[in-house]
């Protein structure tokens, strides 16, 4: 199966900061606290868009960043939430966290969506911290940082259309012509994903994945490997595009060739031979091609044949439209087996220890998600905020743990890039 794969960094929005503010009233030097909470930061969300076939649109997004929530204000004004960032991906997309190597999601259903990075919650304003003991708190919280993740996004691609035919009938030429041609009126657009695979986008926005599937006849002569590979890919396409050399160059006989290839296909697999097929008469620019085509149509009156010259870029536009039409008509076929869309387990990473303490260059370094978050949400320019921070650390047992490890009064303790003194 073809795999389309990209790396992307997602940075969810930070929460808006809470506000420290006091009501202003006439003749009252300091009224009650009225600082509002900040708004929530933007989530980064992946959703399925059934119309998409590849990850091409994501290829140039290296980093996606969500907005910060709006800061809270005085008079109990809450900041509003930031708008979430939605990234649309095709059905069957798998998202992996590269730091943990865990699968975050397998988007296998039409309306699947997953938050890959959560926006931070808004920091609380000082009003929210008012208690009986401290009815006028002079501190508030900063917004919670948004999650940051490095993701690997992967799509096992199923080609919609597989090109089949004898060697040298012009399969590669057709693909490369589609990819390089710049028609006067941009009738279609082609994105090459590998030398024999690409995405065709028509002007009416319909799109499909087209793959060259060599190995049908070659497979028979060159051993099983190539033939098996052909079959595996061919079985997963929705329709086949059967290319014939209508010029009959080099002793080829298109009437015979058609029969032989059809025969090979049904020998491979009965299901494969039932796939819908578009027949293409190529090399119509060459002498004798018109004559052969007339004979061919007489022999196979029920086939709808598209006459093209891959080399001269003739008839290709009509062919692509016909392919899109046939794909539309075969949309309901149940060709994507559940095995193709096989689901992965989704794991959640749960850390056992809330934090770690290590001795590095005579400094006690504390690491841990919860502590770092608390640190990031503390406004160290507000004395009461600093006191609260110290109290929280104590509540988490950090002081005791440091003491047990032998920390002395006056030792340096580090959280993130901030160093402070240890005091029992
Ligand atoms: N005259 C002419 N030659 C063609 C046309 N399409 C392909 N060829 C030639 O046929 C040969 C085989 O083509 P290729 O695309 O490699 O065939 P494949 O084996 O089916 O991939 C090459 O020399 C091409 O230049 C065409 O429309 N007209
Ligand atoms: Mg080829």
pLDDT at 236: 75
For the CA of 176, the closest atom of ligand 1 is 15
CB distance 227 to 220 below 8 Å: yes
For the CA of 166, the closest atom of ligand 1 is 20
φ and ψ at residue 96, rounded to 5 degrees: -120, 140
| Model confidence, pTM | 0.66
Angle between helix axes 383-395 and 369-376 (nearest 10 degrees) is: 170
pLDDT at 7: 94
Q: How far is the CA of 99 from the centre of ligand 1 (A)?
A: 47
Report the SS3 class of residue 374: helix
Tokens for 330?
Answer: 């075969």
Question: Does the beta carbon of 169 sit less than 6 angstroms from any atom of ligand 1?
Answer: yes
**Nearest to residue 95, comparing CAs of 157, 159, 42, 149?**
149
pLDDT at 340: 44
If you ran DSSP here, which 8-state letter would residue 62 be given? Answer: -
- 220-261 residue pLDDT tens: 555 555 666 777 777 778 899 999 999 988 788 999 999 999
Tell me whether strands 412-415 and 418-421 are parallel, antiparallel or unpaired. Answer: antiparallel
pLDDT at 129: 95
For the CA of 173, the closest atom of ligand 1 is 15
For a pocket test of ligand 1, which of 167, 173, 174, 286 has the largest count of ligand atoms closer than 8 A to its C-beta?
Answer: 173
Tell me whether strands 102-107 and 85-89 are parallel, antiparallel or unpaired. Answer: unpaired
Percent of the chain past pLDDT 90, that is, above it, reads 53
By residue count, the chain amounts to: 424
- 302-321 residue pLDDT tens: 999 999 999 998 999 999 99
Q: How far is the CA of 214 from the centre of ligand 2 (A)?
A: 7
For residue 225, give the H/E element and its range: helix 224-235
pLDDT at 342: 44
pLDDT at 193: 66
* Closest ligand relative to 165 C-alpha: 1
Question: Exposed/middle/buried for 400, CB within 10 Å: 0-12, 13-18, 19+?
Answer: exposed
CB distance 174 to 243 below 8 Å: yes
Q: How far is the CA of 163 from the centre of ligand 2 (A)?
A: 10
Instruction: Kindly report the number of other CB atoms within 10 A of residue 175's CB atom.
Output: 22
Q: How far is the CA of 171 from the centre of ligand 2 (A)?
A: 5
CB distance 66 to 95 below 8 Å: no
- Give the domains, in start order, of the chain with CATH numbers: 2-157 (2.70.210.12), 169-329 (3.40.50.300), 356-421 (3.30.300.350)
Residue ranges in the chain whose pLDDT is less than 70: 1-3, 27-30, 180-187, 191-195, 218-228, 331-352, 424
pLDDT at 194: 67
pLDDT at 18: 98
**Nearest to residue 385, comparing CAs of 133, 78, 123?**
123
* Closest ligand relative to 311 C-alpha: 1
């Amino acid at each position: 199966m073809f795999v389309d794969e990209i790396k992307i960094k997602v940075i969810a929005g930070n929460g808006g900061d809470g506000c420290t503010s006091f009501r202003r009233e006439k003749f009252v030097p300091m009224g009650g606290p009225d600082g509002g909470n900040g708004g929530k930061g933007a989530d980064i969300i992946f959703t399925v868009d059934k119309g998409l076939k590849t990850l091409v649109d994501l290829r140039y997004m290296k980093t996606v960043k969500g907005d910060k929530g709006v800061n809270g204000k005085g008079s109990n004004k809450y900041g509003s939430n930031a708008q979430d960032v939605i990234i649309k991906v095709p059905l069957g997309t798998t998202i992996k966290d590269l730091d943990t190597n865990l699968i975050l999601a397998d988007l296998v259903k039409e309306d699947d969506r997953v938050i890959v990075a959560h926006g931070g919650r808004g920091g609380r304003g000082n009003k929210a911290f008012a208690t009986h003991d401290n009815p006028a708190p002079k501190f508030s919280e900063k917004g919670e940082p948004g999650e940051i993740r490095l993701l690997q996004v992967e799509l096992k691609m199923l080609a919609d259309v597989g090109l089949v035919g004898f060697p040298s009938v012009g399969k590669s030429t057709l693909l490369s012509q589609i990819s390089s041609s710049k028609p006067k009126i941009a009738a279609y657009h082609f994105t090459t994903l590998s030398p024999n695979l690409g995405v065709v986008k028509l002007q009416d926005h319909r799109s499909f994945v087209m793959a060259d599937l060599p190995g049908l006849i070659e497979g028979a002569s060159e051993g099983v490997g190539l033939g098996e590979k052909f079959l595996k890919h061919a079985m997963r396409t929705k329709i086949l595009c059967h290319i014939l050399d209508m010029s009959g160059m080099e002793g080829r006989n298109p009437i015979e060739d058609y029969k032989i290839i059809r025969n090979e296909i049904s020998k491979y697999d009965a299901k494969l031979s039932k796939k819908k097929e578009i027949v293409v008469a190529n090399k119509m620019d060459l002498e004798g091609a018109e004559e052969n085509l007339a004979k061919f149509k007489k022999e196979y009156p029920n086939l709808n044949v598209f006459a093209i010259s891959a080399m001269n870029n003739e008839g290709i536009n009509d062919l692509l439209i016909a392919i899109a039409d046939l794909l539309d008509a075969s949309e309901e076929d149940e060709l994507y087996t559940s095995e193709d869309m096989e689901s992965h387990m989704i794991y959640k990473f749960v850390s056992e220890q809330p934090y770690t303490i290590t001795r590095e260059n005579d400094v006690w370094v504390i690491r841990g998600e919860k502590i770092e978050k608390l640190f990031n949400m503390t406004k160290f320019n507000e004395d009461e905020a600093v006191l609260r921070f110290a109290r929280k650390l104590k509540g988490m047992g950090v002081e005791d743990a440091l003491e047990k490890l032998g920390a002395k009064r006056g030792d340096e303790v580090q959280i993130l890039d901030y160093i402070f003194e240890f005091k029992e």
